[in-house]
Each structure stands twice: as structure tokens, then as C-alpha cells.
Amino acid sequence: MNSEFKSFIKIFVTGCLWGTIGLFVKLMEKQGSSSSYTSFLRLFFGFILLAVLTMIIDGPKAFRIGRKTLLSCILLGIVCQGTFNILYSTSISMNGMSIGSVLLYTAPIFTSIASLLLFKEKMNCFKWIALLVNVAGCVLTATGGDFSGAVLKPLGLLIGVGAGLTYGMTAVFGRIAMQEKSSPFAVATYNLFFGCVFIALVRRPWQTVEKPFDLKLLLFGILFGLIATTLAYSFYFSGLSKITQTSKVPVVASVEIVVATVIGAVAFSENMNLIRIVGIVLVLASILLFSRNSDRQPAEVSPESGESGEKRRSMKGQCL
């Protein structure tokens, strides 16, 4: 098992942890929290916990990062945390949950295009097929085939696509941030810090709830910051540090929708119909397709035989 395949396992674990987001959002909503305050508490407590974790694991020197890494962290925080949260919540309000989810899961398409342009990643047949299967699977899993509450307007469409774009850029900016071999924990900490500051300045989320310091609400916020934020981003940026195929990241992380759907069915008795099951199968199938070659090292050419080299040359023109 090579290092890149291990990294994709970390991204997969990240997706599983992100799958708990809906659980915490609903628990915090029951305590009177708003969407912006829930996002703020998640980033705030995640930042505090990650800062402590970074100090313990890598020490204070880990926070000394290069300008390129710092700029990437600022973009991660403002674009992929702050702006994404605002656009996604607005998209759901304007388009409804079904269409909002559908537009969000266009993210892998934007990641693939950006990876093609910025990192010169090749998109072969397996990648295109897996990408289409993944988007279809996410749509079916998120909606269950029910679009009855969908209301689509041009501005709502633009905002929904913007949410998908900002979410899809997480892997791109994250890879750039990790190019200077900085501490993954420090990068995650800065990412959450800038996102937290951005939401605080733009939304002033504590003013959107009646009891911002409710003890139970803050406890859920701490757990949200620990499980779906601190642990998740620790795995995420640690995985990105070894990955050379950024376009695969959001597809592997899309296991999030599978975990979220299962939690919804078990904890909140949400409908698990045949269409959702088909969607789950498609999502998992796309992850397998995308990672099919991640655990294979390039074959070596032995002095005694040129067989491996011949095999490589014969496969260059193949889609597989």
C-alpha cells in the first residue's frame, strides 16, 4: 500500500466524519441556533482545539509558515469556509433543500477542471465515468428522487453553483497550502481561524440567536468542533500532503453523503427509499473507480527483462 493510497484512506475517514455535520446541525437547531451561529461555533471551537493539538504535536514553530501557505490558508478560510457557508445556506433558502444539494454536489466537476488547469492532471475515461457516476449518486442520495419542493430562479442557480465552486476549491487551495511541507495541523488551524473571522465580520452570528451562551448549545458546538472539524481537518490536510491527484479528493470525500443519509435514517427516521439506496451504491462505486489505481506503484524495469516497460508502453494509449 503506497503513501498516496494511505492518504486517500485519510480523505475517506474525513468524509465519514463530515457525514456527522447534519446530526450536529439538527441538534443545535433544536437548541435555538441559527445556521450562521452553528457555522461560527463549529469553526471557533475547531480553531481552538486544533491550535492546542498543533502545539502538542508540532510545537509553536509549526505556526511559522511561508507566504504562499499563508495566502492559501486565507483563501481556504474566506472562500471555502466563510463564503461557502453563506452561499450554501442562501442556496437552500432560495432553491429548496433538494436543488441546493444537487447544485452543491457539482463540486467535483469544479475541482477536476481546476486540477486540469493548475496541476495539469489528466482526465482519462475512468475519471470521467467515475465523476459522472459520483454526481448522479450524490444527487439521488441527497434528494431520494424527490424534487417536489424545488424552486429554481436564475439568481438562486448562480448562488447554488457558487456554493459548489467554493466547496470544490477546498482540495485545490489545500494542495497549494501543503506544497511548502507545512504542518497539516497548522494549515488546518489557520484555515479555520480565517473562516471564523470572516463569518464573524460578515454575519455577526451571535446576534441571530436569543441565547448565544446557552450551555447545552455550546456543548454541542464543542463536540461539533471536535468531531466534524478538528479530527476531520486533521485527517484531510494530512492526506492532502501526499496526494498528487487532487481531482480525486472530493469524490473520495463524498462518502460524507452516505454517512449523513444513514445517520438521518437511524437517528431521525428519515426516509430510506430505493432511489437513495441506488444513490449510495453509485457513490461508493465511484469512489472505487476513482481509487482503482491509487494503490499501485509504477512497475520497475529489471535489467534481465524489459517486460514491465513493454507493458507500460502498450498501455499508454489505453483509457484504462
pLDDT of the residue at 316: 45
pLDDT of the residue at 315: 43
| Rounded Cα distance, 92 and 89, in Å | 5
pLDDT of the residue at 123: 81
235: closest CA among 185, 282, 277, 279? Answer: 185
DSSP per-residue codes, 232-266 = HHHHHHHHHTT-S-GGGHHHHHTHHHHHHHHHHHH
Q: What is the pTM of this model?
A: 0.86
List per-residue pLDDT tens for the chain, 320 residues long.
678 889 999 999 999 999 999 899 999 999 999 999 999 999 999 999 999 999 999 999 999 999 999 999 999 999 999 999 899 988 887 877 778 888 888 999 999 999 999 999 888 887 888 899 999 999 999 888 777 666 678 898 899 999 999 999 999 999 999 988 899 999 999 999 999 999 999 999 999 999 999 999 999 999 999 999 999 999 999 999 888 889 999 999 999 999 999 998 998 888 899 999 999 999 999 998 877 655 444 444 444 444 444 444 444 444 44
Domain residue spans of the chain: 3-296
CB-CB contact of 247 with 123 (8 Å): yes
Helix count (H) and strand count (E) of the chain? 16, 0
pLDDT of the residue at 12: 95
End-to-end CA distance of the chain: 20
